[in-house]
Amino acid sequence: MFYQTIDILGTVAFAISGVLVAMEKRLDLFGVVIIAFVTSIGGGTLRDLLIGNTPVVWMRDLTYVATILITVIIGVIFVNQLKYFRKSLFLFDTIGIGLYTMLGIEKGLQADLSPIICIALGTMTASFGGVIRDILCNEIPVIFRKEIYATACILGGASYFLFTRFPIKEDYAYVAAICIVISLRLVAVKFKIRLPNIYKKEI
């Protein structure tokens, strides 16, 4: 129940971020639904395919489909209210990557994979939906820019395995790792911390 709740919260967060991007691009209702779907389930679909967990989870459990559709309806109705928060897209996207990073790691652990591969799965789960969203909306994906994005997922995922070495409940380690991913992303944007530019000058 705990992990499913986290999964639903992540689905909602990414669906809202997809709705906001699609509405900003002035897509029609079908386009908004598609962008919300791929943002929410893109990373999880890739993860499930890689570990052989098929049919993928959203095909077996229509709760995810219903959640996305309901979120789209609410997001479209209240889009003007959401726009009052200048960084609402950033906020929901950040919450999404924190939740989905740990969901990917959990799936990797269930498949008896090594910690490094679990962290990679968590990062892909968190990032790939946003990559598809940005590509479909004709944007350079955030993960390929200088912003701290995938790095936050990697560090947060690594912190989870560090926490599990201490005598604390696994659920606490899980939540702490989610908070670290979110905090790293927030701090990086707040203080404009970015990865080094490999180019001597802008192209």
Locate 81 and state its tokens: 């209210």
Helical segments of 113-149, H only: 115-136
Quote the CA–CA distance of 118 and 1 in Å, as a whole number.
21
Contacts of 125 (CB under 8 A, 6+ apart): 43, 44, 46, 47, 100, 101, 103, 104, 107
Q: Please tell me the distance from the alpha carbon of residue 182 to that of residue 156, in angstroms, as a whole number.
A: 8
Q: How far is CA 131 from CA 68, 136, 158, 199, in A?
A: 18, 9, 22, 23
Residue partners of 8: CB distance under 8 A and separation at least 6:
63, 64, 67
For a pLDDT cut of 90, what percent of the chain falls above it? 69
Give the residue among 43, 155, 53 at the shortest CA–CA distance from 110.
53
**Count of alpha carbons within 13 Å of 111, Cβ hemisphere only?**
22
120-130: pLDDT as tens digits: 999 999 999 99
Per-residue pLDDT tens digits for 60-101:
999 999 999 999 999 999 887 776 654 667 888 899 999 999
Q: Among 20, 34, 134, 29, which residue's Cα sits nearest to residue 78?
A: 20
At residue 84, the pLDDT reads: 61
Question: What per-residue confidence (pLDDT) applies to 146?
Answer: 65
3-class SS of residue 125 = helix
Under 8 Å CB-to-CB from 127, ≥6 apart: which residues?
A: 43, 97, 143, 149, 150, 153
Residue 53 binned pLDDT confidence (cut-offs 50, 70, 90): very high
Average pLDDT of the chain is 90
| pLDDT exceeds 90 at position 38 | yes
pTM above 0.95, yes or no: no
